[in-house]
Structure 1
Amino acid sequence: LIPLSYVTILGGICTLIGTSTNLVVHSMILDAGMKGFSMFELGKVGIFIALAGIIYLFLFSKKLLPATRPETTNEEDGDSSLHLVEAVIGPRFPGINKTVGEFDFKRHYGAEIKELRRSGRTYTDLNEVSFREGDTLVVLTDDSFIQTWGESSVFLMLANGKEYEPAGKKKRWFTLFLLLFMIVGATVGELPGIEKYLPEGIKLDMFFFVSITTVIMAWSKIFPPQKYTKYISWDILITIACAFAISKAMENSGVADLLAGYIISLSHDYGPYVLLAVLFIITNIFTELITNNAAAALAFPIALSLSTQLGVNPMPFFVVICMAASASFSTPIGYQTNLIVQGIGNYKFTDFVRIGLPLNIITFLISVFLIPLIWPF
């Protein structure tokens, strides 16, 4: 499951829409009055990182990760209509920081908690254990639990070992077509020379095609009207908005210029390559300790100030932020997919460090070497 999470991250760095981190940096570039990324521009370096990461995982994951995990209890209380479901707690779970004894889970969700898993430990004596985001609960419940809460942001993921098909075959193929339409449309719309054939004020960018795709999905009832807002990650949007505010405060207060000047003074004789490496390390530490979006937003004003004070092209610094902020491999807290697999795979924190730290180093080396060759200073 850890390799699955890592491959998800590696794929995300290759396109503009693969991860919200890239969109955050793209928006900040536009806000600074510069041209942002095209749909597949980040793939120029991202594909090399992804290939190297996948090869590394194939060669070393079996050696560095535990081969087995404890089996889930098979208790079903003699009722054949009940079965065990694994539920990963999301950020909007109302019982976070409350103990299992304080929060009546059964009254809220009609399910009985059998186990709680966290950082490789399994808790069965639950009364004094507090709920945390990313915990995996093993609950005894009926079939209605996944149907009711499967699309809710209260839980990051629900699994009962059965395949779940939310839509019919025709709808799935139509959804795939809409995805391809959105990607191809945005890619073609950004090609040089297209703008001169368009009416004034019309831009065939990603936002344009996302909007059209969303309207078509609603009109064709791929998702029902009462669930329009369920697919919006409000917590992520609020995090990004707050990160934008902090970033702007760093820029306006002069903190970004101060930090950039300090970094330049430390590496004054080594040129922009070393500064690129330093920026990667700073951003990567941020993303391992907080979240990828916040890390990107905090690092952006430093990158902009670095390039301004050096008088060089800022684009290499912006791309480095995208790669470093997404390279959350050494801890489970920096990226949501890591949180999801931690409890279900019953992984310890050290499992992520053991296999993730070399992957961080691989990403660092490829980024610092290739990015200046593709986007010259």
Structure 2
Amino acid sequence: MTTWVVLLSLAGLLVLLISGRVRPAVGFVSLAVAYLLMGLVDTATLLRQYTNPALATLLLLLLVSLALERSPLLERVSNRLVDGHPGRATFKVMGTSAVLSAFLNNTAVVATFLGAISRQRQIAPSRLLIPLSYASILGGMTTLVGTSTNLVVSSFAMSTAGFELSMFQFSWVGLPVALITFLVLLWQSRRLPHHQPEAAADALSYFLAADLHPGSEMVGRSIEANGLRSLEGLYLLEIERHGRLISPVGPEEVLQAGDTLVFTGEVGKVQALQRFPGLRLFGHQADDLLATNLVEVVISHESELAGRTLQEVDFRSMFNAGVVGIRRGGKRLEGQLGKIPLRVGDCLLMAVGSDFRQHRNLDRNFHLLSGSLTRPRLNRLESGLTLAGFATVIALATWGVLSLFQGLLLLLGALLVGSVLSPAELRRRFPFELWLIIGSALAIAQALEHSGAAGLMAQGMQAVFDGHGPYAALVGCYLLALVLTETVTNNAAAALAFPVAWSTAQAFGADPMPFIMVVAYGASACFLIPYGYQTHLMVYSPGRYSLKDFLRIGLPVSLTYSVAVLVLTPWVFPF
């Protein structure tokens, strides 16, 4: 009975994660606590999972990456990539992204390149951003530190089998797979759309909401009488009045106090709204906002804004900035800006106050696309020492002189002593949700084992693939990880697929290593849907992509990647 309760609860968690009704951290922690109360894991076992050595190594790596991403090296490299022929620029962007992502946090790599690519006007950003994101995945899956997914799998290997995966153990299969897939991606990139920022078709990029003040002389007059039909570069799209939308807006429509007017068109022409008395952009005078800097940002995967509206978080007080436009890919957002639930990857156009740069939560919430905002950078000496220190840690871990955990801990201590990082910054950017997800997933895996649910799943896998041998079961485990990473997230996919793969290997009496590796490779195989991987969400709106763009480019890439993984893995890591 307990076995089936565990299986049903795990299925329920998966449904909730796919539906997006709960955040992964909430779902995993709740299930781990439920198993604790059911007696499937004891308190000591639960707490031990949150101090798993590989998990601690992952957290240290992410904290050290806070210094690495502030190095001016990435910005200098990114500024030199986009020139000349689009094909050559695509090759340089992809190649550089892949190489850097093998050792640096691929989110930081994509964030830096994203700003440079979005600001330039030589090549349409839509031609470069999907290749950038995909190449960062290909580079990241080749080393232990290249992606958090590999370290998650290593943490499960440590918890289950008592060994960690080495620095370049992923490279034996990862490098040839990355090279083959890289060529297919380069070929497919020619099919990407051309969305030039200055093109007329881009007039629907942003939607600007303006509130009509009750005391305005525009109240009681029609749209035509107020001169709202002949705006330069802007078009009155709809009116929100008492919770309902009026669209299309006819010239005889009479304005009422409290109306929210939604405009679309060229953001640069927003000055046209200055001449209308009592018209306020997101609750503020248009001339007040226009007197400040306009900054365009993307909401990051760490942001506390995700799933909340601007009104709920009191955006103006939190950042001393007013949002004058929101963009989500090529999708039109309806209604008042302050009431739209925000998502990771949304583009915000903000008019920022004088002390906006001094807010310490900017890096956690936003990736900069354009504007005059300059983030603190390391000087040349700090940058050189930080990069040299990180390279030394990687080398010592590879040669077995120091473990990766020891090396990263020493480096983090040196960064704190040298004031490159501060305790406040570490507190602010600590990957708390990731720590909760992985620690809870490790505890859930223990419950699966103790309840017999893992053995039952292994028997099911054996029954399905009976007569086809362990290779068919290996393909099944890979496909499970791939489907999960496309529908949930990469780290959650690895956490859910690993216990199944491990139990399946035991049921077939096979070496578990190929099963462990295909879980890692499958959990990184997010090429079809943008919602499962943070770098895809980062490029989704700036590139003004649609789901169809990801499917058109991602399908041949995913097929190539999968075939290469399933051919090479059992050859390099035999059963």
TM-score, normalised to structure 2's length?
0.59
Change over 3 Å in CA distance of 1:109–1:18 after alignment to 2: same
Aligned residue in 2 for 1:166: 377
**Amino acid across the alignment from 1:184:** A
Residues 1:188 and 2:399 aligned together: yes
Distance 2:375 2:542 in 1: 18
Aligned residue in 2 for 1:179: 390
Offset at 1:371?
Answer: 0.6
Residues 1:12 and 2:140 aligned together: yes
SS at match of 1:14: coil
Change over 3 Å in CA distance of 1:225–1:302 after alignment to 2: closer
Distance 2:346 2:362 in 1: 18
Is the Cα–Cα contact under 8 Å of residues 115 and 122 in structure 1 kept in the other structure? no
Offset at 1:164?
Answer: 4.8
Structure of greater relative contact order (alpha carbons < 8 Å, 6+ residues apart) = 1
Distance 1:152 1:252 in 2: 42
Distance 1:277 1:237 in 2: 29
Change over 3 Å in CA distance of 1:149–1:288 after alignment to 2: farther
Offset at 1:7?
Answer: 1.0
Aligned residue in 1 for 2:405: 207
Which of structures 1 and 2 has the bigger CA Rg?
2
**Amino acid across the alignment from 1:115:** G
Change over 3 Å in CA distance of 1:67–1:55 after alignment to 2: farther
Is the Cα–Cα contact under 8 Å of residues 243 and 293 in structure 1 kept in the other structure? no
Offset at 1:213?
Answer: 0.9
**Amino acid across the alignment from 1:108:** M
Offset at 1:126?
Answer: 1.8
1:60-71 to structure 2, matched below 5 A, reads: 60-68=188-196, 70=202
Offset at 1:149?
Answer: 4.7
Tell which deviates more after alignment, 253-262 or 68-77.
68-77
**Amino acid across the alignment from 2:560:** I
Aligned length: 362
Distance 1:370 1:147 in 2: 50
SS at match of 1:52: helix
Aligned residue in 2 for 1:313: 511
Is the Cα–Cα contact under 8 Å of residues 22 and 322 in structure 1 kept in the other structure? yes
Residues 1:139 and 2:139 aligned together: no
Distance 1:299 1:321 in 2: 7
**Structure 2 residue ranges without an equivalent (≥5):** 1-128, 207-266, 272-285
Offset at 1:174?
Answer: 1.1
Tell which deviates more after alignment, 313-322 or 25-34.
25-34
SS at match of 2:337: coil
Aligned residue in 2 for 1:49: 177
**Amino acid across the alignment from 1:176:** L
Change over 3 Å in CA distance of 1:66–1:147 after alignment to 2: farther
Aligned residue in 2 for 1:238: 436
Aligned residue in 2 for 1:130: 341
Distance 2:164 2:312 in 1: 49
Distance 1:147 1:268 in 2: 62
Is the Cα–Cα contact under 8 Å of residues 195 and 544 in structure 2 kept in the other structure? no
Residues 1:21 and 2:149 aligned together: yes
Is the Cα–Cα contact under 8 Å of residues 315 and 375 in structure 1 kept in the other structure? yes
1:325-344 to structure 2, matched below 5 A, reads: 325-344=523-542
Is the Cα–Cα contact under 8 Å of residues 115 and 123 in structure 1 kept in the other structure? no
Offset at 1:212?
Answer: 0.9
Residues 1:113 and 2:323 aligned together: yes
Change over 3 Å in CA distance of 1:156–1:82 after alignment to 2: closer
Residues 1:83 and 2:281 aligned together: no
**Amino acid across the alignment from 1:51:** L
RMSD, matched Cα: 2.3
Tell which deviates more after alignment, 298-307 or 339-348.
339-348
Aligned residue in 2 for 1:223: 421
Is the Cα–Cα contact under 8 Å of residues 297 and 369 in structure 2 kept in the other structure? yes
Tell which deviates more after alignment, 4-13 or 222-231.
222-231
Distance 1:30 1:277 in 2: 23
Is the Cα–Cα contact under 8 Å of residues 283 and 295 in structure 1 kept in the other structure? yes
Residues 1:301 and 2:499 aligned together: yes
